[in-house]
Chains A and B, each alone.
Chain A
Protein backbone atom coordinates (compact mmCIF):
# COMPACT_ATOMS: atom_id res chain seq x y z
CA UNK A 1 0.00 0.00 0.00
CA UNK A 2 1.42 3.30 -1.01
CA UNK A 3 0.48 6.31 0.99
CA UNK A 4 1.18 9.54 -0.78
CA UNK A 5 2.73 11.83 1.80
CA UNK A 6 4.11 14.47 -0.54
CA UNK A 7 1.73 17.15 0.65
CA UNK A 8 2.58 16.47 4.29
CA UNK A 9 6.27 16.70 3.49
CA UNK A 10 5.66 19.89 1.58
CA UNK A 11 3.91 21.31 4.61
CA UNK A 12 6.87 20.46 6.83
CA UNK A 13 9.27 21.95 4.29
CA UNK A 14 7.39 25.19 4.16
CA UNK A 15 7.57 25.48 7.93
CA UNK A 16 11.33 25.16 8.11
CA UNK A 17 11.96 27.52 5.24
CA UNK A 18 9.80 30.13 6.91
CA UNK A 19 11.98 29.95 10.01
CA UNK A 20 15.15 30.05 7.94
CA UNK A 21 14.20 33.08 5.92
CA UNK A 22 13.25 35.03 9.00
CA UNK A 23 16.64 34.21 10.50
CA UNK A 24 18.37 35.28 7.33
CA UNK A 25 16.55 38.55 7.07
CA UNK A 26 17.31 39.21 10.68
CA UNK A 27 20.98 38.57 10.08
CA UNK A 28 20.81 40.77 7.04
CA UNK A 29 19.35 43.61 9.02
CA UNK A 30 22.20 43.35 11.46
CA UNK A 31 24.73 43.82 8.73
CA UNK A 32 23.08 46.80 7.11
CA UNK A 33 24.86 49.52 8.95
CA UNK A 34 22.92 52.36 7.46
CA UNK A 35 19.48 50.84 7.73
CA UNK A 36 19.57 50.82 4.00
CA UNK A 37 17.01 48.26 2.98
CA UNK A 38 15.31 51.02 1.09
CA UNK A 39 11.86 49.58 1.67
CA UNK A 40 9.18 51.75 3.18
CA UNK A 41 7.80 49.90 6.17
CA UNK A 42 4.19 49.81 5.11
CA UNK A 43 5.08 48.10 1.84
CA UNK A 44 7.16 45.55 3.64
CA UNK A 45 4.15 44.58 5.64
CA UNK A 46 1.95 44.11 2.62
CA UNK A 47 4.28 41.78 0.73
CA UNK A 48 6.80 40.50 3.25
CA UNK A 49 8.49 37.84 1.15
CA UNK A 50 8.44 39.31 -2.33
CA UNK A 51 10.61 42.38 -1.89
CA UNK A 52 14.32 41.90 -1.52
CA UNK A 53 17.24 43.44 -3.37
CA UNK A 54 17.84 40.21 -5.25
CA UNK A 55 14.28 39.68 -6.40
CA UNK A 56 14.05 43.34 -7.33
CA UNK A 57 17.15 43.00 -9.44
CA UNK A 58 15.69 39.99 -11.21
CA UNK A 59 12.51 41.90 -11.93
CA UNK A 60 14.59 44.78 -13.19
CA UNK A 61 16.52 42.48 -15.52
CA UNK A 62 13.31 41.08 -16.92
CA UNK A 63 11.91 44.53 -17.42
CA UNK A 64 15.11 45.66 -19.09
CA UNK A 65 15.01 42.79 -21.54
CA UNK A 66 11.34 43.33 -22.30
CA UNK A 67 11.87 47.03 -22.83
CA UNK A 68 14.81 46.47 -25.13
CA UNK A 69 12.93 44.07 -27.36
CA UNK A 70 9.36 45.36 -27.37
CA UNK A 71 8.28 47.76 -30.09
CA UNK A 72 6.21 49.87 -27.70
CA UNK A 73 7.11 51.89 -24.63
CA UNK A 74 6.23 49.81 -21.59
CA UNK A 75 4.72 51.42 -18.47
CA UNK A 76 7.40 52.75 -16.16
CA UNK A 77 7.90 50.60 -13.02
CA UNK A 78 7.62 53.45 -10.55
CA UNK A 79 7.96 51.58 -7.28
CA UNK A 80 10.67 49.26 -8.49
CA UNK A 81 12.82 52.10 -9.80
CA UNK A 82 12.29 54.10 -6.66
CA UNK A 83 13.56 51.24 -4.54
CA UNK A 84 16.47 50.53 -6.86
CA UNK A 85 17.64 54.12 -7.01
CA UNK A 86 17.46 54.39 -3.26
CA UNK A 87 19.50 51.23 -2.85
CA UNK A 88 22.14 52.51 -5.25
CA UNK A 89 22.46 55.69 -3.21
CA UNK A 90 22.71 53.79 0.06
CA UNK A 91 25.21 51.34 -1.32
CA UNK A 92 27.37 54.21 -2.56
CA UNK A 93 27.48 55.64 0.93
CA UNK A 94 28.09 52.23 2.41
CA UNK A 95 31.07 51.62 0.15
CA UNK A 96 32.42 55.04 1.02
CA UNK A 97 32.15 54.29 4.72
CA UNK A 98 33.78 50.92 4.38
CA UNK A 99 36.67 52.25 2.36
CA UNK A 100 37.23 54.98 4.94
CA UNK A 101 37.42 52.25 7.54
CA UNK A 102 40.19 50.57 5.60
CA UNK A 103 42.54 53.45 6.04
CA UNK A 104 42.32 53.19 9.80
CA UNK A 105 42.53 49.43 9.78
CA UNK A 106 45.71 49.34 7.77
CA UNK A 107 47.54 51.57 10.17
CA UNK A 108 46.33 49.27 12.93
CA UNK A 109 47.33 46.06 11.22
CA UNK A 110 50.86 47.33 10.65
CA UNK A 111 51.40 47.04 14.38
CA UNK A 112 50.43 43.41 14.87
CA UNK A 113 52.75 41.78 12.39
CA UNK A 114 51.65 38.24 13.16
CA UNK A 115 50.12 37.59 9.74
CA UNK A 116 51.46 38.18 6.28
CA UNK A 117 50.09 41.59 5.50
CA UNK A 118 49.79 41.16 1.76
CA UNK A 119 47.32 38.29 1.68
CA UNK A 120 45.09 39.61 4.46
CA UNK A 121 44.95 42.98 2.79
CA UNK A 122 43.74 41.29 -0.38
CA UNK A 123 41.17 39.28 1.58
CA UNK A 124 39.91 42.43 3.23
CA UNK A 125 39.70 44.20 -0.06
CA UNK A 126 37.74 41.45 -1.79
CA UNK A 127 34.34 42.39 -0.42
CA UNK A 128 34.96 45.99 -1.35
CA UNK A 129 35.99 44.96 -4.85
CA UNK A 130 32.89 42.85 -5.22
CA UNK A 131 30.59 45.52 -3.88
CA UNK A 132 31.96 48.03 -6.33
CA UNK A 133 31.62 45.64 -9.24
CA UNK A 134 28.13 44.79 -8.07
CA UNK A 135 27.13 48.42 -7.92
CA UNK A 136 28.55 49.03 -11.36
CA UNK A 137 26.52 46.16 -12.75
CA UNK A 138 23.32 47.44 -11.24
CA UNK A 139 24.01 50.95 -12.47
CA UNK A 140 24.69 49.63 -15.95
CA UNK A 141 21.28 47.99 -16.13
CA UNK A 142 19.53 51.11 -14.91
CA UNK A 143 21.42 53.30 -17.35
CA UNK A 144 20.81 51.03 -20.28
CA UNK A 145 17.12 50.78 -19.43
CA UNK A 146 16.65 54.52 -19.19
CA UNK A 147 18.57 55.21 -22.38
CA UNK A 148 16.48 52.68 -24.21
CA UNK A 149 13.32 54.37 -22.96
CA UNK A 150 14.59 57.78 -23.98
CA UNK A 151 15.27 56.49 -27.49
CA UNK A 152 11.70 55.25 -27.68
CA UNK A 153 10.34 58.52 -26.34
CA UNK A 154 12.22 60.30 -29.12
CA UNK A 155 10.82 57.96 -31.70
CA UNK A 156 7.22 58.06 -30.56
CA UNK A 157 7.05 61.63 -29.33
CA UNK A 158 4.19 62.62 -31.64
CA UNK A 159 2.34 59.45 -30.79
CA UNK A 160 2.78 60.11 -27.08
CA UNK A 161 1.52 63.68 -27.51
CA UNK A 162 -1.85 62.47 -28.69
CA UNK A 163 -1.89 59.83 -26.02
CA UNK A 164 -3.59 61.83 -23.33
CA UNK A 165 -6.60 62.87 -25.34
CA UNK A 166 -7.61 59.90 -27.43
CA UNK A 167 -6.51 56.73 -25.71
CA UNK A 168 -7.72 56.97 -22.18
CA UNK A 169 -6.41 53.52 -21.29
CA UNK A 170 -3.15 54.45 -19.60
CA UNK A 171 -2.53 57.98 -18.36
CA UNK A 172 0.78 59.33 -19.55
CA UNK A 173 2.06 59.85 -16.02
CA UNK A 174 1.75 56.11 -15.54
CA UNK A 175 3.65 55.39 -18.70
CA UNK A 176 6.54 57.75 -18.10
CA UNK A 177 8.50 58.78 -15.06
CA UNK A 178 8.52 62.43 -14.03
CA UNK A 179 11.91 63.06 -15.61
CA UNK A 180 10.94 61.29 -18.79
CA UNK A 181 7.81 63.37 -18.99
CA UNK A 182 9.85 66.53 -18.71
CA UNK A 183 12.30 65.28 -21.31
CA UNK A 184 9.45 64.42 -23.63
CA UNK A 185 7.79 67.81 -23.34
CA UNK A 186 10.89 69.94 -23.66
CA UNK A 187 12.49 67.84 -26.36
CA UNK A 188 9.43 67.87 -28.56
CA UNK A 189 9.02 71.61 -27.98
CA UNK A 190 12.59 72.20 -29.12
CA UNK A 191 12.21 69.98 -32.14
CA UNK A 192 8.98 71.70 -33.08
CA UNK A 193 10.59 75.09 -32.79
CA UNK A 194 13.45 74.03 -35.04
CA UNK A 195 11.11 72.65 -37.69
CA UNK A 196 8.83 75.65 -37.51
CA UNK A 197 11.59 78.20 -37.84
CA UNK A 198 13.51 76.45 -40.56
CA UNK A 199 10.88 74.98 -42.87
CA UNK A 200 7.30 74.87 -41.78
CA UNK A 201 6.61 78.60 -41.77
CA UNK A 202 7.40 78.74 -45.48
CA UNK A 203 4.72 76.15 -46.16
CA UNK A 204 1.10 76.91 -46.99
CA UNK A 205 -0.96 76.94 -43.79
CA UNK A 206 -2.75 73.65 -44.47
CA UNK A 207 0.60 71.87 -44.73
CA UNK A 208 2.11 73.25 -41.56
CA UNK A 209 1.02 70.57 -39.10
CA UNK A 210 3.63 68.04 -38.03
CA UNK A 211 1.10 65.47 -36.85
CA UNK A 212 -1.10 65.30 -39.93
CA UNK A 213 -2.60 61.82 -40.26
CA UNK A 214 -5.05 62.55 -43.06
CA UNK A 215 -2.51 62.98 -45.82
CA UNK A 216 -1.11 60.30 -48.07
CA UNK A 217 1.47 59.27 -45.49
CA UNK A 218 0.75 59.19 -41.77
CA UNK A 219 3.05 61.52 -39.94
CA UNK A 220 2.51 60.14 -36.47
CA UNK A 221 4.79 57.17 -35.93
CA UNK A 222 2.89 54.52 -34.03
CA UNK A 223 4.65 51.57 -32.50
CA UNK A 224 4.73 48.69 -34.93
CA UNK A 225 2.23 46.57 -33.06
CA UNK A 226 2.58 43.46 -35.16
CA UNK A 227 6.35 43.37 -35.31
CA UNK A 228 7.83 39.96 -34.67
CA UNK A 229 9.57 39.28 -31.36
CA UNK A 230 11.20 36.28 -29.76
CA UNK A 231 9.34 35.16 -26.66
CA UNK A 232 10.07 32.65 -23.94
CA UNK A 233 6.98 31.27 -22.22
CA UNK A 234 7.79 31.08 -18.53
CA UNK A 235 4.29 30.81 -17.17
CA UNK A 236 2.98 32.19 -13.90
CA UNK A 237 5.31 32.45 -10.97
CA UNK A 238 4.18 29.92 -8.44
CA UNK A 239 1.09 27.76 -8.66
CA UNK A 240 0.14 26.93 -12.19
CA UNK A 241 -3.48 26.17 -11.46
CA UNK A 242 -4.18 29.82 -10.72
CA UNK A 243 -4.08 31.21 -14.23
CA UNK A 244 -7.40 30.70 -16.00
CA UNK A 245 -5.91 31.25 -19.45
CA UNK A 246 -3.64 28.25 -19.10
CA UNK A 247 -4.92 25.10 -20.81
CA UNK A 248 -3.69 21.55 -21.26
CA UNK A 249 -3.26 20.01 -24.70
CA UNK A 250 -3.41 16.34 -25.72
CA UNK A 251 0.27 15.82 -24.90
CA UNK A 252 -0.29 16.95 -21.33
CA UNK A 253 1.63 20.16 -21.87
CA UNK A 254 0.32 23.37 -20.46
CA UNK A 255 -0.05 26.15 -22.95
CA UNK A 256 -1.60 29.52 -23.61
CA UNK A 257 -3.97 29.62 -26.54
CA UNK A 258 -3.44 32.72 -28.64
CA UNK A 259 -5.03 33.71 -31.90
CA UNK A 260 -3.40 35.64 -34.70
CA UNK A 261 -6.22 37.76 -35.97
CA UNK A 262 -4.78 38.86 -39.29
CA UNK A 263 -4.43 35.27 -40.44
CA UNK A 264 -7.35 33.77 -38.50
CA UNK A 265 -4.97 31.28 -36.99
CA UNK A 266 -4.81 29.70 -33.57
CA UNK A 267 -1.50 28.91 -31.94
CA UNK A 268 -0.39 27.28 -28.72
CA UNK A 269 2.33 28.75 -26.55
CA UNK A 270 3.57 25.79 -24.52
CA UNK A 271 5.27 26.48 -21.20
CA UNK A 272 9.05 26.59 -21.57
CA UNK A 273 8.93 27.02 -25.33
CA UNK A 274 10.60 29.66 -27.45
CA UNK A 275 8.57 31.25 -30.21
CA UNK A 276 8.75 33.98 -32.78
CA UNK A 277 5.44 35.79 -32.51
CA UNK A 278 3.78 39.02 -33.45
CA UNK A 279 3.97 41.43 -30.56
CA UNK A 280 0.27 42.29 -30.49
CA UNK A 281 -0.54 38.59 -30.08
CA UNK A 282 1.51 38.21 -26.93
CA UNK A 283 1.22 41.75 -25.58
CA UNK A 284 -1.25 40.90 -22.82
CA UNK A 285 0.88 37.99 -21.70
CA UNK A 286 4.00 40.14 -21.64
CA UNK A 287 2.34 42.79 -19.52
CA UNK A 288 1.18 40.07 -17.12
CA UNK A 289 4.68 38.59 -16.96
CA UNK A 290 3.59 35.21 -18.29
CA UNK A 291 5.95 35.34 -21.23
CA UNK A 292 9.25 37.11 -21.57
CA UNK A 293 10.80 38.76 -24.57
CA UNK A 294 14.26 37.50 -25.36
Chain B
Protein backbone atom coordinates (compact mmCIF):
# COMPACT_ATOMS: atom_id res chain seq x y z
CA UNK B 1 0.00 0.00 0.00
CA UNK B 2 0.99 3.60 -0.13
CA UNK B 3 2.24 3.63 3.44
CA UNK B 4 4.92 1.09 4.38
CA UNK B 5 3.70 -1.62 6.67
CA UNK B 6 6.17 -0.62 9.37
CA UNK B 7 4.72 2.88 9.64
CA UNK B 8 1.09 1.80 9.67
CA UNK B 9 0.57 1.75 13.42
CA UNK B 10 3.43 3.78 14.78
CA UNK B 11 6.05 6.42 14.09
CA UNK B 12 9.60 5.65 13.14
CA UNK B 13 12.33 7.05 15.43
CA UNK B 14 13.34 9.40 12.63
CA UNK B 15 9.85 10.84 12.56
CA UNK B 16 9.96 11.34 16.31
CA UNK B 17 13.20 13.22 15.81
CA UNK B 18 11.53 15.26 13.10
CA UNK B 19 8.80 16.34 15.50
CA UNK B 20 11.30 17.20 18.18
CA UNK B 21 13.35 19.25 15.75
CA UNK B 22 10.45 21.66 15.38
CA UNK B 23 10.70 22.70 19.01
CA UNK B 24 12.39 26.00 19.86
CA UNK B 25 15.82 26.18 21.45
CA UNK B 26 18.12 29.05 22.46
CA UNK B 27 21.28 29.80 20.51
CA UNK B 28 24.18 32.26 20.50
CA UNK B 29 24.52 33.29 16.88
CA UNK B 30 28.02 34.10 15.65
CA UNK B 31 26.93 36.43 12.89
CA UNK B 32 24.60 39.36 12.48
CA UNK B 33 21.66 39.54 10.14
CA UNK B 34 19.88 42.46 11.69
CA UNK B 35 19.91 45.23 9.10
CA UNK B 36 21.63 48.25 10.62
CA UNK B 37 19.60 51.42 10.52
CA UNK B 38 22.59 53.37 9.25
CA UNK B 39 23.17 51.10 6.29
CA UNK B 40 19.54 51.13 5.33
CA UNK B 41 19.43 54.92 5.39
CA UNK B 42 22.54 55.31 3.28
CA UNK B 43 21.92 52.95 0.43
CA UNK B 44 18.28 52.28 -0.28
CA UNK B 45 18.91 49.36 -2.56
CA UNK B 46 21.36 47.49 -0.35
CA UNK B 47 18.97 46.00 2.24
CA UNK B 48 16.49 44.82 -0.34
CA UNK B 49 19.25 43.00 -2.22
CA UNK B 50 20.31 41.35 1.04
CA UNK B 51 18.97 37.81 1.14
CA UNK B 52 16.33 37.58 3.79
CA UNK B 53 15.09 34.55 5.63
CA UNK B 54 11.63 33.57 4.63
CA UNK B 55 10.48 30.33 6.18
CA UNK B 56 7.23 28.42 6.11
CA UNK B 57 7.45 26.08 9.05
CA UNK B 58 9.26 28.20 11.59
CA UNK B 59 9.09 31.73 12.83
CA UNK B 60 11.51 33.72 10.69
CA UNK B 61 11.53 37.07 12.48
CA UNK B 62 14.28 36.13 14.97
CA UNK B 63 16.43 34.92 12.08
CA UNK B 64 16.15 38.25 10.35
CA UNK B 65 17.23 40.02 13.52
CA UNK B 66 20.18 37.98 14.66
CA UNK B 67 22.84 39.90 16.52
CA UNK B 68 26.08 38.10 17.27
CA UNK B 69 26.38 36.84 20.88
CA UNK B 70 22.77 37.76 21.73
CA UNK B 71 20.63 34.77 22.59
CA UNK B 72 17.61 34.09 20.43
CA UNK B 73 15.15 31.28 20.09
CA UNK B 74 14.98 29.35 16.86
CA UNK B 75 13.70 25.94 15.89
CA UNK B 76 16.04 23.12 16.80
CA UNK B 77 16.62 22.03 13.22
CA UNK B 78 17.79 25.52 12.27
CA UNK B 79 20.05 25.59 15.30
CA UNK B 80 21.60 22.28 14.29
CA UNK B 81 22.04 23.45 10.73
CA UNK B 82 23.75 26.64 11.85
CA UNK B 83 25.84 24.70 14.32
CA UNK B 84 27.02 22.44 11.55
CA UNK B 85 28.26 25.48 9.66
CA UNK B 86 29.94 26.83 12.76
CA UNK B 87 27.63 29.83 12.81
CA UNK B 88 26.19 29.52 16.28
CA UNK B 89 26.50 27.75 19.57
CA UNK B 90 23.53 26.11 21.18
CA UNK B 91 22.45 26.90 24.72
CA UNK B 92 21.68 23.64 26.44
CA UNK B 93 18.25 23.54 28.08
CA UNK B 94 17.95 23.91 31.85
CA UNK B 95 17.38 20.27 32.57
CA UNK B 96 20.50 19.15 30.71
CA UNK B 97 22.83 19.90 33.63
CA UNK B 98 24.41 17.44 35.98
CA UNK B 99 22.65 18.88 39.02
CA UNK B 100 19.24 18.92 37.39
CA UNK B 101 19.60 15.41 36.05
CA UNK B 102 20.68 14.25 39.49
CA UNK B 103 17.50 15.78 40.93
CA UNK B 104 15.44 13.91 38.41
CA UNK B 105 17.24 10.70 39.23
CA UNK B 106 16.62 11.24 42.95
CA UNK B 107 12.95 11.89 42.26
CA UNK B 108 12.68 8.77 40.15
CA UNK B 109 14.28 6.67 42.85
CA UNK B 110 12.10 8.12 45.58
CA UNK B 111 8.77 7.87 43.78
CA UNK B 112 8.53 4.38 42.41
CA UNK B 113 4.95 4.91 41.28
CA UNK B 114 5.43 7.81 38.90
CA UNK B 115 7.78 9.37 36.38
CA UNK B 116 9.57 12.67 36.95
CA UNK B 117 8.48 15.58 34.80
CA UNK B 118 11.20 15.62 32.21
CA UNK B 119 10.19 17.35 28.98
CA UNK B 120 8.45 15.08 26.49
CA UNK B 121 11.43 15.19 24.15
CA UNK B 122 14.29 14.73 26.61
CA UNK B 123 15.79 11.58 25.14
CA UNK B 124 15.87 12.89 21.60
CA UNK B 125 17.17 16.33 22.54
CA UNK B 126 19.88 14.85 24.72
CA UNK B 127 20.93 12.48 21.98
CA UNK B 128 20.98 15.22 19.34
CA UNK B 129 22.94 17.65 21.47
CA UNK B 130 25.42 15.01 22.59
CA UNK B 131 26.22 14.05 19.05
CA UNK B 132 26.04 17.42 17.30
CA UNK B 133 26.76 20.06 19.91
CA UNK B 134 28.90 18.32 22.49
CA UNK B 135 31.23 21.30 22.86
CA UNK B 136 28.41 23.66 23.88
CA UNK B 137 27.30 21.78 26.98
CA UNK B 138 28.24 23.11 30.40
CA UNK B 139 29.27 19.83 31.89
CA UNK B 140 31.54 17.16 30.45
CA UNK B 141 29.61 15.09 27.96
CA UNK B 142 30.61 11.71 29.32
CA UNK B 143 29.16 12.56 32.74
CA UNK B 144 25.92 13.84 31.20
CA UNK B 145 25.71 10.74 29.08
CA UNK B 146 26.07 8.65 32.20
CA UNK B 147 23.27 10.49 33.97
CA UNK B 148 20.96 10.30 30.99
CA UNK B 149 21.66 6.62 30.73
CA UNK B 150 20.88 6.20 34.43
CA UNK B 151 17.57 8.02 34.04
CA UNK B 152 16.75 5.96 31.00
CA UNK B 153 17.35 2.70 32.80
CA UNK B 154 15.43 3.69 35.91
CA UNK B 155 12.47 4.65 33.80
CA UNK B 156 12.72 1.50 31.72
CA UNK B 157 12.56 -0.49 34.92
CA UNK B 158 9.41 1.32 35.96
CA UNK B 159 7.87 0.79 32.56
CA UNK B 160 8.58 -2.90 32.94
CA UNK B 161 6.83 -2.82 36.31
CA UNK B 162 3.91 -0.91 34.82
CA UNK B 163 3.34 -3.51 32.14
CA UNK B 164 1.91 -5.75 34.85
CA UNK B 165 -1.09 -3.45 34.97
CA UNK B 166 -2.11 -3.75 31.34
CA UNK B 167 -5.88 -4.08 31.25
CA UNK B 168 -8.83 -3.80 28.92
CA UNK B 169 -10.15 -0.39 29.98
CA UNK B 170 -7.43 2.23 30.12
CA UNK B 171 -4.00 3.21 31.39
CA UNK B 172 -2.50 6.46 32.63
CA UNK B 173 1.13 7.23 31.79
CA UNK B 174 1.89 10.82 32.72
CA UNK B 175 5.29 12.32 31.91
CA UNK B 176 6.35 9.50 29.68
CA UNK B 177 8.39 10.90 26.82
CA UNK B 178 7.41 10.49 23.22
CA UNK B 179 10.27 8.18 22.34
CA UNK B 180 9.49 5.90 25.27
CA UNK B 181 5.85 5.82 24.26
CA UNK B 182 6.80 5.04 20.72
CA UNK B 183 8.87 2.00 21.60
CA UNK B 184 6.13 0.76 23.91
CA UNK B 185 3.34 1.38 21.48
CA UNK B 186 3.13 -1.79 19.40
CA UNK B 187 3.40 -4.03 22.43
CA UNK B 188 1.04 -2.18 24.77
CA UNK B 189 -1.62 -1.56 22.15
CA UNK B 190 -1.42 -5.11 20.86
CA UNK B 191 -1.79 -6.66 24.30
CA UNK B 192 -4.57 -4.30 25.34
CA UNK B 193 -6.49 -4.89 22.12
CA UNK B 194 -6.30 -8.63 22.66
CA UNK B 195 -7.37 -8.28 26.30
CA UNK B 196 -10.29 -6.19 25.13
CA UNK B 197 -11.33 -8.90 22.68
CA UNK B 198 -11.06 -11.59 25.33
CA UNK B 199 -13.03 -9.50 27.76
CA UNK B 200 -15.66 -8.81 25.13
CA UNK B 201 -16.16 -12.47 24.37
CA UNK B 202 -16.31 -13.36 28.06
CA UNK B 203 -18.91 -10.75 28.92
CA UNK B 204 -21.02 -11.83 25.96
CA UNK B 205 -21.27 -15.30 27.43
CA UNK B 206 -22.18 -14.19 30.93
CA UNK B 207 -23.72 -10.73 30.86
CA UNK B 208 -23.74 -10.20 34.63
CA UNK B 209 -20.03 -10.88 35.02
- A: residues with CB less than 8 A from B are 24, 27-28, 31-32, 53-54, 57, 61, 65, 68, 87-88, 91, 94, 98, 101-102, 105, 122-124, 126-131, 133-135, 137-138, 140, 144, 147-148, 150-151, 154-155, 226-230, 260, 262-263, 265, 267, 272-278, 281, 294
Contact = CB atoms under 8 A, between A and B. Distances in A.
B85 interface: yes
A130 B78 contact: yes
A155 to B, nearest CB: 7
A230 B185 contact: yes
Main secondary structure of the interface of A (DSSP, over half): helix
Interface in B145-188: 168-176, 178, 181, 185, 188
* Interface size, B (range): 35 or more
Nearest to A34: B54
Given A151-B3, A275-B172, A294-B181, A127 B57 contact: no
Interface of B: 1-3, 7-8, 11, 15, 18-19, 22, 31, 49, 51-61, 63-64, 77-78, 81-82, 85, 87, 168-176, 178, 181, 185, 188-189, 192-193, 196, 199-200, 203
Contact of A137 (B8, B18, B192): B18
Given A131-B55, A151-B8, A228 B189 contact: yes
Nearest to A148: B3
Nearest to A87: B56
Contacts of A228: 188-189, 192-193, 196
Nearest to A265: B169
B56 A151 contact: no
Can you list the 6 inter-chain pairs with the closest CB atoms, starting with the nearest? A151-B3, A150-B2, A276-B171, A57-B57, A151-B1, A147-B2
A65 to B, nearest CB: 8
A270 to B, nearest CB: 8
A134 B58 contact: yes
Most buried by B among A31, A65, A88: A31
Contact of B85 (A61, A65, A122, A265): A122
Contacts of A128: 51
Given A277-B170, A278-B170, A31 B54 contact: yes
Given A263-B168, A263-B199, 14 more contacts: A27-B61, A57-B58, A65-B19, A126-B82, A129-B81, A130-B78, A147-B3, A150-B1, A228-B196, A230-B185, A267-B170, A274-B176, A275-B173, A278-B196
